[in-house]
């Protein structure tokens, strides 16, 4: 299963040539991950209040074709791997209407406590994400 987020491209999202500024895709990925958590009944603010934080540990993007001013994009998000203290998300950005893949990427987030030390991801966080896992072997035991 994949989570979908629609993003309309406004002028502010683009460079002077009307092409989506490359770093904005990371923002779209972040919005999509937050949306995935919320769709599974998790409130990131509540988790933060409980001392559970998620930080980006690494990210990789491959740009295949430019998004442009006026486009509507779909950001697909899946859970590629769940580790003890991290989650690897897969992202694809497609142009609405044509289905053309514009960007592919991964982002690994780490779970940390208030002092930013790694901590094991709680079961009540992992369980709702399993529906978005790509395969049965996504758990890192």
User: Tens of pLDDT along 90-129?
Assistant: 999 999 999 999 999 999 999 999 999 999 999 999 999 9
15, 43, 124, 140: which one is catalytic?
Answer: 15
Q: Which two three-digit tokens encode residue 47? A: 């988790």
- Confirm whether 124 is a catalytic residue: no
Q: Report how far apart, in Å, the C-alpha atoms of 40 and of each of 17, 67, 83 are.
A: 38, 29, 19
DSSP readout, 46-65? HHHHTT-EEEEEEEEEEE-S
Residue 141's pLDDT band (boundaries 50, 70, 90)? very low
So where are the chain's domains? Answer: 3-131
Rounded average pLDDT over 35-46: 95
Look up the CATH superfamily of 3-131.
Hotdog Thioesterase (3.10.129.10)
């Amino acid at each position: 299963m994949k989570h979908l987020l629609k993003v309309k491209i406004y002028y502010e999202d683009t460079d002077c040539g009307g092409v989506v500024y490359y770093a904005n895709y990371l923002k779209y990925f972040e919005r999509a991950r937050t949306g995935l958590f919320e769709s599974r009944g998790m409130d990131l603010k509540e988790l933060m209040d409980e001392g559970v934080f998620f930080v980006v540990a690494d990210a990789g993007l491959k740009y295949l074709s430019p998004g442009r001013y006026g486009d509507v994009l779909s950001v697909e998000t899946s859970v590629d791997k769940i580790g003890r203290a991290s989650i690897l998300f897969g992202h694809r950005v497609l142009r609405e209407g044509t289905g053309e893949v514009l960007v592919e990427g991964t982002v690994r987030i780490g779970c940390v406590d208030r002092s930013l030390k790694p901590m094991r991801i709680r079961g009540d966080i992992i369980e709702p994400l399993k529906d978005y896992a790509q395969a049965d072997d996504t758990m890192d035991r």
